[in-house]
Structure 1
Amino acid sequence: MSSEFSKPPPSGIYVPAVLFFKADEEFDLDAIKAHVLRLAKGGVTGILVQGSNGEAQHLSHDERKFAIRFTREILDEHGFTDVLIIAGTGAQSTRETKKLCADAADAGAAYVLVLTPSTWPPQMTKENIIRFHREVADASPIPTMVYNFPVVTAGLDLDSDTIAVLAQHPNIVGTKLSCGNIGKLQRLVASAPREKFAVFAGKSDVFLQGLLSGSAGVIGALVNIAPATHKKLYDQWKSGNGLVEAMQGQILLGQADWEAQKIGGIGGIKKIVSQQFGYGERWVRGPLAPVSDDKLQSLNHDHLLELINLEKSTVGQ
């Protein structure tokens, strides 16, 4: 890469899209298309393909590349050319991560989101983490972002000092903080100018808190269920006179996000979307387990249902 700085993604609402399968674990292309279009019509700024919610680690390289290209084609064919694609390119070696970045660029992604390798946590020192992300950014044909998600990286939790060092690289343009640490988010916002580095909350339950701390928006799993409601809250905050309404919306997002996690994360999102929006099925790839009707009924998810009703009324306005 040259020393010229790459531009970060624009502020807004991004969704780590779930990927729908049939019962035999093959892609359900009709459901994937329906989901991509509902997200785009809901007003998302971009779609993260092969984030943790997209079951990236369960796919082959060819499948990962196909999912990115298929999403880009759907968006372009239906007039959503301005909706960006960020591709998750996490892998356990630097070499494979570089390959996935090249594949993502070739398939139509504008940015890549890179997890820190975690097979050998004791060896992932601060120096090694910085070296890994810099080497990937040097090789990537499109700008990279640092993905901090301790739940899926064996507990590795990058601190603000480490990410701030990485933000100085000309081709590292942002971060997704699925750790939910608002203090970290605010420190990073203060450490690098927005035109160089975008800091995104990685969970809907800290969406507004992140905006108030200077974040560029959210990349959150709950957006799979309620894109228009997230967009409405973002617009209320951005208008400068809708903070009270946005705070009320954030209370509901926080409660619904927690209920969705208890239902079963990826499987829970697919189950809810299938049940409430009429496309796709609950299937996930093993070793994940699908969410059954009995499990869904056994868990209190009244706030999630309230959010879904709000979403449907918002779309209908």
Structure 2
Amino acid sequence: MQSLIGTGVALVTPFNKDFSVDTEALQRIVNFCVDGGIEYLVILGTTAENATLSADEKELVITTVVAANKKRLPLVLGVGGNNTAEVVKELKTRDLSAFEAILSVSPYYSKPTQEGIYQHYKAIAEASPIPIILYNVPGRTSSNMLPKTVLRLANDFDNIVAIKEAAGDLVQAMQILKNKPAHFLVISGDDMIALPMVLAGGAGVISVIGQGFPKEFSEMIRLGLNRKVNEAFKIQYVLDECIDMIFEQGNPAGIKEVFQCLGIADNTVRLPLVKVEEDLSQRIEKFLKKNI
């Protein structure tokens, strides 16, 4: 799918200081990403603090992003969980006409076997009316989807079109890249190794930092895709300091601090997350003043 090549961003959900959803800030973030050259937007991923949103708030986020986007960029919707039946039910009842694909995380907390993971995605593939991006993030799920399982799913189901691979393991990603079917895309879920994964044959990234630095980060990925290695790494080595900082005290607290410094959105997060500490806030602000 050409629409999933390049840089996608996992959008935050900005909050007002009273913890309500800030729809105006969300519109500003969408426009900032569009104007900055991002290729597609991901709604209601982990970075959106999805677990803290009510059903009504999730609908508000979706309608706000769809309206603000004005069909300018492809949209991907996060639809996943560790209750397979509930995920299937949502896929069968939700209107997905505005979306290019769904992003579905490997079941968290339950720690299923590889066969359990396969059967979970098999049920999703049989229910979904639109393409599916697998999402492997062992640091959050406590369960690693192994390359053999990814490749089995990619070969067995035509509508499983990609994986967001966020194990932080370049060797694991390369095993998938080496053996995948031609149609299947490997998308980095780790900002720090997104460029090396692209150079190894990856299709791009679903990024956190990309929404704070859309122009710079998306250009880096495009340069990588075009094999302009030196130019791409020149950008990487500027941004890597900030990539470390935005994850230092948790996601999305770090990227929300970037938006606070840029005057785009407030840095409010919902418990159990808390704002970054003052020292980190000052370091992020210093980086922005120096480099942006």
Same fold at TM > 0.5: yes
CA distance in 1, matches of 2:223, 2:254: 28
- Partners of 2:76 and 2:95 lie apart in 1 by 10
1:204/1:118 CA distance change after superposition, 3 Å: closer
Go from structure 1 to structure 2 and tell me whether the alpha carbon gap of 1:285 and 1:171 turns closer, same or farther (over 3 Å shift). same
Q: Structure 2 stretches of 5 or more lacking a match?
A: none
Counterpart contact for 1:69–1:108, Cα < 8 Å:
no
In angstroms, what is the RMSD of aligned CA positions?
Answer: 2.1
| Contact 1:206–1:254, Cα closer than 8 Å, also in 2 | no
Match of 1:246 among 220, 226, 232: 232
Q: Between 26-35 and 60-69, report the one with greater CA deviation.
A: 60-69
Residue by residue over 1:217-245, the C-alpha shift from the partner in whole angstroms, topping out at 9 and shown as x without a partner, is: 011111121111012212323444x3212
Is 1:261 the counterpart of 2:247? The answer is yes
- Give yes or no for contact 1:112–1:145 (8 Å, CA) kept in 2: yes
CA separation in 2, counterparts of 1:45 and 1:125? 34
Question: How far apart are 1:100 and its partner, in Å?
Answer: 3.5
* Cα deviation code 1:128-180 (max 9, x no counterpart): 11000110111011111110111211x21111111111112111111001112
Q: 1:27 aligns with which of 21, 31, 41?
A: 21
- Aligned to 2:83, which of 85, 90, 93? 93
Match of 1:55 among 15, 39, 49: 49
Query: SS of 1:26's equivalent?
Result: coil
Instruction: Write the mapping of 1:183-202 to structure 2, written as runs, cut at 5 A.
Output: 183-194=171-182, 196-202=183-189
Aligned to 1:18: 12
Equivalent residue runs for 1:61-210 within 5 Å = 61-76=55-70, 81-102=71-92, 105-106=95-96, 108-121=98-111, 124-153=112-141, 155-168=142-155, 169-194=157-182, 196-210=183-197
Is 2:223–2:229's contact at 8 Å kept on the other side of the alignment? yes
Amino acid across the alignment from 1:291: V
Counterpart amino acid of 2:51?
Q
CA distance in 1, matches of 2:57, 2:93: 11
Which amino acid in 1 is paired with 2:180?
A
1:40 corresponds, among 34, 37, 42, to: 34
- 1:85-130 Cα deviation digits (max 9, x unpaired): 1111122211221233356643622211111222322xx1111110
TM-score normalised to structure 1 length: 0.85
1:179-224 deviation digits (Å, cap 9, x = unpaired):
1221122221222234x21110111211210111100001111112
* Partner in structure 1 of residue 265 of structure 2: 280
C-alpha distance in 1 between matches for 2:93 and 2:35: 27
User: Quick one: distance in 1 between partners of 2:2 and 2:149?
Assistant: 19
Report if aligned partners of 1:66, 1:107 keep a CA contact under 8 Å in 2. no
Percent identity of paired positions between Structure 1 and Structure 2 = 25
- Give the conservation status (yes or no) of the 8 Å contact 1:68–1:104: no
Distance in 2 separating the partners of 1:158 and 1:106: 26
2:12 corresponds to which letter in structure 1? V
Contact 2:96 2:130 in 1 (8 A): no
Residues 70 and 100 of structure 1: CA distance in aligned 2, closer, same or farther (over 3 Å) = farther
For the 8 Å contact 1:176–1:200, the answer to whether it is kept is: yes
Identify which range, 22-31 or 256-265, moves more after superposition. 256-265
The equivalent of 1:4 in structure 2 is none
Query: Where does the alignment leave 5 or more consecutive residues of structure 1 unmatched?
Result: 1-6, 313-317
Aligned to 1:221: 208
Q: Spell out, residue by residue over 1:258-303, the C-alpha distance to the aligned partner (whole angstroms, 9 max, x if none).
A: 121114321121122111x212111112211123545523xx458x
Question: Would the alpha carbon gap of residues 160 and 174 (structure 1) be closer, same or farther in structure 2, given more than 3 Å must change?
Answer: same
Change (3 A) 1:117 1:8: farther
Give the letter for the 1:11 counterpart: I
1:167 match: secondary structure:
helix
Take 2:96 and 2:222, find their aligned partners in 1: how far apart are those partners? 33
Q: Is the 8 A contact 1:173 1:198 kept in 2?
A: yes
